[in-house]
Amino acid sequence: MQIFRGKVIHTNMQKTARVAVTRIVAHPVYKKRYKKVKHYLVHDEIGVKPGEIVRFVASKPFSKLKRWKMLEVVKPDASKVVKTKGAKKDIKKK
């Protein structure tokens, strides 16, 4: 069973999310490491939002390109975290 972890980048379709999975590979001759990104269309019953980190698993075909099913949200979108009052210290002017 294949389980992947990736970042949701697109959710404009009904019950479908586009998830980007990044992995680091080494060049076969020069051994330099670089990032490869692959996008998957994932069946989404949960209702995820762009920016969230999710886990998904291989499944039966839902459509021509959609063969993955969402398992869970690992980490909510960190860019929309709201700061609370009092988190910033008062700076005294001299």
> What are the DSSP calls for 13-47, one per residue?
ETTEEEEEEEEEEE-TTT--EEEEEEEEEEE-SS-
At 60-80, the pLDDT tens digits run: 999 999 999 999 999 888 676
**What single DSSP character describes residue 91?**
P
DSSP state at residue 43: E
Global confidence as pTM: 0.77
Q: Tell me the per-residue pLDDT of 6-52, one tens digit each, with 9 for 90 and over.
A: 999 999 999 999 999 999 999 999 999 999 999 999 999 999 999 99
At residue 1, the pLDDT reads: 82
Mean pLDDT in the chain?
89
Domains of the chain and any CATH numbers: 3-78 (2.40.50.140)
